[in-house]
């Protein structure tokens, strides 16, 4: 097999499993088969992506760019392979946690699993994109599957409302993304990110179109990560969607959009000596920094006022988009490393927290008030401990991975001379302590409510274990992840 095809294996396998999953759904109508098939698919994808790590990188150097089947539209290896594993892993955790939940709350339908697979394929395509068109296709595959996932509980008004809001506002934002891409094409004459970079460095670009295009892409992507002021859909959608799916959307979905951010802005904000370009770069960086600061503050302040844990976590996910944007605003390798590290940590803790919610949720959305968590440590000590770990990690307290993610991001901002941004980030982190610790307070120091909650784990035990283990391992040995990430950029 050609070396290029070997590198493409993760994409090929996920596409194969997506297509077969849809076909089998239609033909067999067997839920267990669909469930198992999608799990097998994601495990195979993780395997093939790991395989691309061990292919000697020397051979990658020998690939001549002209002779590629993919015409240089796709990026191989490195962070792309890394994120293949991360996204497929997140999908796997989601599917494992979903079965018992959707069966209990609505009913198990085959399409749920294929939807997750399709979403993962879109996310992977984002990571592999080396061309704005591929990037756009990846984003749209992911987003459209999310619209459907949000409305999965088709009898629930909240779920349908979430889906519709997400779809309407998403389409609105997508328009800006496409327009931005078009302007960037007009400014530089190419959709290929490498050519865009070389044209920018060579000074062959239209200044106004370039800035407008960058700004519009920034707006489109900001919507996808739910950054201020394009965040308002997020709390409504995350609260209305099936809980496990919200976890998946708000964690892996956000990470995928952040990768898109890195890929685009790493290429259109190159470090060069061209004074015009430096000025433009600073402008875009400043805009991102302001968005990041507002997002963090707004997300955390609003989360303070929430009494529903699911909604609170939705706002906290807005705040986390702000932290992640710091890495983009810094526009240096520490920042990208930080985004990569924090994405992994964030997927583990956010998804973990939502899975905990899904375990105790009953009758669509009940049992999710803050007061329902009172005394959880006595009725369900393990569940309470897990939730406490996720909350501490989200709050950024060592020895959990969340701490180091924030640490790298803050360091990158200092390196990029955004000291004020770091100060804002630290302050908003302190604000966030209040509501994260508030849950722990409820669980450990309040008397249990009169009717004890029931916990229904099913297979959710596995993803919960993975999440906690990952948070502890990467928190105690951050270099395991940080060294790998640093090598990518």
Partner 1 sequence: MLETLRTIDMYDMIKFIPLIPLIGFLILGLTGKYIKKEAVIGTIGSLAVFIPFVLSIILFIDIVKQHITSPVIVPVYTWINTGQLSISISYQVDQLSILFSLIITGVGFLIHIYSIGYMHGDRSFSRFFAYLNLFIFMMLNLVLSSNFLLTFLGWEGVGLCSYLLIGFWYDQKFEGTRITWTGDAANKAFIVNRIGDFGFIIAMFLIFLTFNSLDYQTVKEAAAGGAFAYYNTGILTAITLLMFLGCTGKSAQIPLAVWLPDAMAGPTPVSALIHAATMVTAGIFLIARNSVLFALAPDTMMVVAIVGLATAFFAATIGLVQNDIKKVLAYSTVSQLGFMFIALGVGAFTAGVFHVMTHAFFKGLLFLGAGSVIHGMHHQQNIKMMGGLKKYMPVTYITFFVATLAISGIPFFSGFFSKDEILWSAFSKGHWIMWLIGATAAFFTAFYMFRLLKLTFHGEERFDPHHVHPHESPKTMTIPLIILAVLSALGGFLGIPYALGSWFSAHPNLLENFLDPVFEDAQKIISTATMKVSSGNEIHFQEYLLMLISTGIALSGIYLANKFYSDALWSVPRALAKNFRGTYNLLFKKYKLDEFYFATVVDPCIETSRSFLWKIFDVKYIDGLVNGLGRTSMGIGETVRKLQTGIVQNYAVIMTGGIILILFWIFISL
Sign of CA dihedral 54, 59, 60, 61: positive
298 scored as a contact of partner 1 (CB under 8 A): yes
Is 192 or 280 the residue whose CB approaches partner 1 more closely? 280
Cβ nearer to partner 1, comparing 67 with 275: 275
Look up residue 279 and give its two tokens: 């000025």
Query: Which is nearer to partner 1, 112 or 176 (by Cβ)?
Result: 176
Q: Assess 302 for contact with partner 1 (CB under 8 A).
A: yes
Rounded Cα–Cα distance for residues 119 and 361 (Å):
24
By the rule CB under 8 A, 25 interacts with partner 1: no
Selected range binding partner 1 among 127-135, 187-195, 263-271, 294-302, rule: CB under 8 A = 294-302
Rounding to the nearest 10 degrees, give the CA dihedral for residues 40, 42, 45, 47: -70
Contact 211, 280 (CB under 8 A): yes
* For partner 1, the closer CB: 19 or 431: 431
Q: What is the rounded CA–CA span in Å between residue 255 and residue 344?
A: 8
Residue 202 exposed, middle or buried by CB count within 10 Å (0-12, 13-18, 19+): exposed
Q: Is 301 in the site for partner 1 (CB under 8 A)?
A: yes
Nearest-approach distance from CB 168 to partner 1, in angstroms = 6
Angle, to 10 degrees, between the axis of helix 401-415 and the axis of helix 309-330? Answer: 40
Phi and psi (nearest 5°) for 362? -135, 150
**Position among 123, 303, 357, 421 found at the interface with partner 1 (CB under 8 A):** 303
Specify the stretch interacting with partner 1 by CB under 8 A; choose among 41-49, 180-188, 210-218, 345-353. 210-218
> Per DSSP, what are the bridge partners of residue 86?
none
User: Would you say 48 or 281 has its CB closer to partner 1?
Assistant: 281
| Of the residues 5, 305, 419, 452, which one makes contact with partner 1 according to CB under 8 A | 305
Are 147 and 246 in contact by the 8 Å Cβ rule? The answer is no
CB of 116 to partner 1, least distance (A): 26
Instruction: Indicate the residue among 26 and 305 with the shorter CB distance to partner 1.
Output: 305
Let me know the angle formed at the C-alpha of 262 by 256 and 266, rounded to the nearest 5 degrees.
160
Torsions phi, psi for 275 (to 5 deg): -60, -40
Measured from the CB atom, is 173 or 326 closer to partner 1?
Answer: 173
Which range in 114-122, 230-238, 267-275, 441-449 contacts partner 1 by CB under 8 A?
A: 230-238
Q: How far is the CB of 288 from partner 1 (least distance, A)?
A: 10
Pick one of 232, 274, 333, 367: the residue that binds partner 1 (CB under 8 A). Answer: 232
Q: Which stretch binds partner 1 (CB under 8 A): 102-110, 133-141, 228-236, 454-462?
A: 228-236
Contact region for partner 1 (CB under 8 A) — 96-104, 149-157, 217-225, 347-355? Answer: 217-225
Q: Is omega for the bond preceding 82 within 30 degrees of 0, making it cis?
A: no
User: Segment 467-486, which members bind partner 1 (CB under 8 A)?
Assistant: 477-479
Q: Give 160's contacts (C-beta < 8 A, 6+ positions apart).
A: 151, 153, 154
d(CA 306, CA 235): 11
User: What whole-number distance in Å separates Cα of residue 343 and Cα of residue 339?
Assistant: 6
Least distance from C-beta 101 to partner 1, angstroms? 25
CB of 403 to partner 1, least distance (A): 11
Q: How far apart are CA 443 and CA 369, in angstroms?
A: 12
User: Which one of residues 153, 205, 233, 342 is an interface residue with partner 1 (CB under 8 A)?
Assistant: 233
List the structure tokens of 91.
């999908």
Q: Per-residue string for binding with partner 1, 149-188, x by CB under 8 A?
A: ---------------xx--xx--xx--x------------
First to last CA, the chain: 28
Shortest distance (Å) from residue 400 CB to partner 1: 14
Give the tokens for residue 243: 């809980």
- A 10 A CB-CB count for 105 gives 19
CB 298 to partner 1: min, Å: 6
d(CA 87, CA 97): 15
| Sole window of 28-36, 226-234, 347-355, 416-424 interacting with partner 1 (rule: CB under 8 A) | 226-234
Beta bridge partners of residue 366, listed in sequence order? 362
Kindly list the residues in this chain that would bind partner 1 in the complex (CB under 8 A). 164-165, 168-169, 172-173, 176, 207-208, 211-212, 215, 218-219, 223, 228-230, 232-233, 235-236, 279, 283, 287, 298, 301-306, 404, 408, 411, 431, 434, 477-479
């Amino acid at each position: 097999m050609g070396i290029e095809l070997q590198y493409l294996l993760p994409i090929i396998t996920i596409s194969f499993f997506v297509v077969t999953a849809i076909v089998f759904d239609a033909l067999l109508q067997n839920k267990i088969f669909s469930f198992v098939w999608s799990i097998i698919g994601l495990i195979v994808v993780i395997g093939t992506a790991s395989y691309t790590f061990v292919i000697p990188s020397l051979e990658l150097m020998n690939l001549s760019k002209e002779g590629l089947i993919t015409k240089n539209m796709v990026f191989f290896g490195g962070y792309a392979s890394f994120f293949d594993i991360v996204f497929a892993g997140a999908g796997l955790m989601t599917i494992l946690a979903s079965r018992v939940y959707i069966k209990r709350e609505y009913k198990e339908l085959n399409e749920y699993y294929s939807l997750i697979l399709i979403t993962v394929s879109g996310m992977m395509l984002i990571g592999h994109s080396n061309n704005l068109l591929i990037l756009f296709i990846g984003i749209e595959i992911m987003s459209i599957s999310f619209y459907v996932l949000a409305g999965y509980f088709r009898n629930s008004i909240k779920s349908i409302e979430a889906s519709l809001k997400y779809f309407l506002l998403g389409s609105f934002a997508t328009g800006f993304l496409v327009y931005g891409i078009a302007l960037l094409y007009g400014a530089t004459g190419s959709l290929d990110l490498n050519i865009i970079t070389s044209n920018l460095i060579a000074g062959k670009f239209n200044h106004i179109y370039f800035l407008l295009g960058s700004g519009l892409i920034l707006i489109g992507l900001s919507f996808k990560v739910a950054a201020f002021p394009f965040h308002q859909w997020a709390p409504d959608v995350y609260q209305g969607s099936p809980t496990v799916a919200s976890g998946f959307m708000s964690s892996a979905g956000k990470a995928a959009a952040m990768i898109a951010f890195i890929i685009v802005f790493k290429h259109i904000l190159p470090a060069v000596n061209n004074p015009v370009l430096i000025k433009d770069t600073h402008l875009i960086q400043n805009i991102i920094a302001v968005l990041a600061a507002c997002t963090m503050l707004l997300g955390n302040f609003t989360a303070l006022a929430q009494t529903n844990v699911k909604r609170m976590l939705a706002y906290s996910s807005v705040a986390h988009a702000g932290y992640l944007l710091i890495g983009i605003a810094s526009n240096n390798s520490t920042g990208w490393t930080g985004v990569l590290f924090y994405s992994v940590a964030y997927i583990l803790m956010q998804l973990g927290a939502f899975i905990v919610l899904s375990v105790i949720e009953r009758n669509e959305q009940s049992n999710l008030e803050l007061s329902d968590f009172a005394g959880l440590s006595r009725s369900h000590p393990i569940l309470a401990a897990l939730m406490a770990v996720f909350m501490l990690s989200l709050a950024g307290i060592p020895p959990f991975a969340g701490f180091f993610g924030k640490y790298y991001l803050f360091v990158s901002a200092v390196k990029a001379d955004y000291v004020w941004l770091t100060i804002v980030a630290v302050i908003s982190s302190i604000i966030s302590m209040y509501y994260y610790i508030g849950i722990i307070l409820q669980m450990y120091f309040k008397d249990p409510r009169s009717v004890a909650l029931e916990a229904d784990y099913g297979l959710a035990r596995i993803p919960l274990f993975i999440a906690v283990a990952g948070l502890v391992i990467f928190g105690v040995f951050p270099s395991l992840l940080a060294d790998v990430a640093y090598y990518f950029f």
